[in-house]
A and B are shown apart, each in its own frame.
Chain A
Amino acid sequence: MELAVEVAGVKLANPVILASGTAGYGIELSSLVDLSRVGALVLKSVTLEPRKGNPEPRVWETAAGMLNSIGLENVGVQALIADIIPALEGLGTPVFASIAGDTVRSYARLAARIQGAGGVDALEVNVSCPNVEKGGIQFGVDPGATSAIVMSVKENCDLPVFVKLTAAVADISRIAVAAQKAGADGLTLINTIPGLAIDPATRTPRLGGVIGGLSGPAIKPVALKAIWECYEATGLPIIGGGGICDTGDVLEFLIAGASAVSVGTALFRDPGRVLDIIDELPGAIERAGARSAGELTGTLTETSR
């Protein structure tokens, strides 16, 4: 059974990736999960300067999911380059850095810094974080801004560039096409969806940051639709995720058009889940009548049964 896939020139031993922000900088998870066995590791998004993030509480469990308002707390690109990327050397799996900025220029500078330092295999450009006051999702809902960011990132680095989009837009394929025209090598779909939880007793929000991002199984149908539409519109390689808990979910994401998949929220309850998924994937692919993971990508037939 062939599990290996290639996405925008990055070779993955299997298509199961750890989602940005849920696996920290890899180091935290390394004693629990043999990271050399995952398809790739996407690091927490970094900004030019370290960020403290939002006030607590920062997470709230919701039906079949959770809201988070971490607010992009991160060590900043300098520490990423100086401390983290070197510590991940020899990990035995591709590492994606993720960048988030509040101006087009900041994305360009982040890309240049990471390119210059080396040690990563690809770049994820987060234009979809719902938890920051400036930038983030404001860029991702705007084809013009997305395009400007992708162009400036591409000008400043030769790494494969994946653009991470939000599904909180009327037509995600417009944004995806804009990213593609600007030179994106791939797409990561989807980021969390903005949401709100309320404590009726106090009439206050449950989260310190008021608004949070919804993740987990609750967003899976939204993610699948976004992937399917973007795959049809662009044909770009897609890393798909949103609520993946088992191999059944993985198959759906591949069929919708993903070449690789990401696991995030499901790690919290059981970090080892990601390895179980990888172990069970060959059997699941075989039962789906395919001989490789890649063979399933984009095979949705548009007649319901």
Chain B
Amino acid sequence: MADIASPTRGVTCAATLERREEASPGVFILEFRLDGGPPVAQPVPGQFYQFNCGGGREHMLPRPLSVHGVTRWDDEVAVLKFLVESVGWGTERLCSLEDGDEVGLLGPLGRGFSLAEDGKALLVAGGMGIAPLFFLASEMDRGDKEYDLLAGFRSAGQFYRPLSGLKGGVDVYTDDGSLGNRGMVSGGADGRLEGVVYNAVYTCGPQAMMTVVAGISEEAGVPCQVSLASRMGCGIGACRSCVIEGRGAENLCVCSDGPVFESYKVAWTGAGDIE
């Protein structure tokens, strides 16, 4: 397998909100046009941007958000899509922006998923983990790659409707069984890996879920890439805020060594989650 997509050097720019759509209660699709046209690097699935949400001196840290899609990227215009759950000051502020409002962006940052050459992949998303994995699935559709996607939600109300438009097989899990299968998406992954032959697993979601998915993938002998989250400062590898433990007790820097890691590199003791 190719190396995990190497990090690009992010740039800072202003971005203008072009479109906002409530995907489910409290979760918004936000499309931003990068002012001044496209910077050098086009983001790949798994990469993220640091959002300067404003807030003057009151809120000093930027908010990291995974890229959810590239709406447009040509010589003149770059428009990026994010899927944001309103959970606190920063995300609430982003989710209540009006068309034409500006934010500051730094990115694309980190290493994204790297795709295996051929064969079928299993994508496992829990909660907001769907943000980068939907982007990954869309890219796989474009490249005519085969995959199945398992997506877990709290209940039917949280279902992400654009999933129905993907070419791959989509299977939904809800905690309360109000839509699709009842139960944990990681349980679904277990069953799948016993039956179907997958050549890779890509996962993002709550830490507990990723820990299980990484474990069963390793047992099944299928390489697994995980997109981790942790509390960040700089987002560029300078401050060492985001570090988690690697399997050899070494430090892994989520913002610049990750956020996507091969699962065997992670110690799975205190790795953060995206929920």
Identify the A interface with B (CB < 8 A): 21-25, 28-29, 31-32, 44, 52-53, 55-61, 63-66, 68, 70, 73, 208, 216-217, 243, 245, 265-272
SS class, residues of chain B in contact with chain A: loop
Most buried by B among A23, A32, A243: A32
Q: Are B244 and A64 in contact (CB under 8 A)?
A: no
Q: Are B233 and A268 in contact (CB under 8 A)?
A: yes
Known: A56-B270, A59-B232, A269-B52. A23 touches B57 (CB 8 A): no
State the Cβ distance, A40 to closest chain B Cβ, in Å: 16
Q: Which 7 residue pairs spanning A and B have beta carbons closest together? A: A24-B238, A28-B238, A217-B57, A31-B9, A59-B241, A57-B231, A73-B240
Known: A68-B241, A271-B236. 7 other contacts (CB 8 A): A24-B240, A32-B10, A32-B11, A32-B106, A68-B233, A70-B240, A269-B61
User: A243 contacts which chain B residues (CB < 8 A)?
Assistant: 57
Decide if B233 touches A56 in the complex (CB within 8 Å): no
Collect the chain B residues with CB atoms within 8 Å of residue A56's CB. 230-231, 242-244, 270, 272
Interface range, B side: 20 to 34
Question: Interface code B245-275, partner A: CB below 8 Å = 1, 0 otherwise?
Answer: 1000101000010000000000000101000
Residues in A neighbouring B245, C-beta threshold 8 A: 55
Among A52, A59, A245: residue with most chain B CB under 10 A:
A59
With A and B bound together, what is the CA distance between A53 and B61 in angstroms? 21
- List chain B residues, Cβ under 8 A from A270: 12, 52, 104, 106
**20 interchain pairs, CB-CB under 8 A:** A21-B239, A28-B237, A31-B9, A32-B9, A32-B10, A55-B245, A56-B242, A56-B244, A58-B240, A58-B242, A59-B231, A59-B233, A59-B241, A64-B57, A64-B60, A65-B60, A266-B60, A268-B235, A269-B61, A271-B106
- Given A53-B240, A70-B239, decide whether A268 and B12 contact each other with a Cβ distance below 8 A: no
Could you tell me the distance between the alpha carbons of A64 and B89 in the complex, rounded to whole angstroms? Answer: 13
- Residues on A with C-beta less than 8 A from B237 are 24, 28
Report the nearest B residue to A249, measured CB to CB: B57
Q: Give B269's nearest chain A residue, CB to CB.
A: A55
Residue of A nearest to B231 (CB): A57
Q: Which label, helix, strand, loop or mixed, suits the secondary structure of the A interface?
A: loop
Partner-A contacts on B (CB < 8 A): 9-12, 52, 57-62, 104, 106, 230-245, 249, 251, 256, 270, 272
Q: Are A217 and B60 in contact (CB under 8 A)?
A: yes
Q: Are A53 and B251 in contact (CB under 8 A)?
A: yes
Whether A66 pairs with B272 at a CB distance below 8 angstroms is no
How distant is the Cα of A265 from the Cα of B236 in the complex, in angstroms?
14
Q: Which residues of B contact A25 (CB under 8 A)?
A: 238
CA distance A276 to B241 in the complex (A): 25
Which residue of the partner chain, among B61, B235, B272, contacts A57 with CB atoms under 8 Å? B272
* Residue numbers in B under 8 Å from A65 (CB-CB): 60
Which chain B residues lie closer than 8 Å to A272 at the CB level? 12
Question: Closest CB-CB distance, B88 to chain A, in whole Å?
Answer: 9
B241 touches A271 (CB 8 A): no
Instruction: State A267–B58 Cα separation when bound (angstroms).
Output: 15
Q: How far is the CA of A201 from the CA of B104 in the complex (A)?
A: 33
| Chain B residues whose C-beta falls within 8 Å of the C-beta of A66 in the assembled complex | 60-61, 233
Contact for B60 among A24, A70, A269, CB less than 8 A: A269
Residues of A within 8 A of B12 (CB): 32, 270-272
Query: Is the Cβ of A55 less than 8 Å from the Cβ of B60?
Result: no
Bound together, the chains give a CA A53 to CA B233 distance in angstroms of: 15
- How far, in whole Å, are A60 and B36 apart by their CA atoms in the complex? 33
Quick one: closest A residue to B240, CB to CB? A73
CB distance from A254 to the nearest CB of B (A): 19
Report the separation of the CA atoms of residues A272 and B52 in the bound assembly, to the nearest whole angstrom: 12
Partner of B241, one of A44, A64, A70: A70
Q: Is the CB of A216 within 8 A of B241?
A: no
Residues on A with beta carbons closer than 8 Å to the beta carbon of B106: 32, 270-271
Contact of B61 among A22, A31, A61, A70 (CB under 8 A): A61
Query: Which residues from B are CB-within-8-Å of A68?
Result: 233, 239, 241
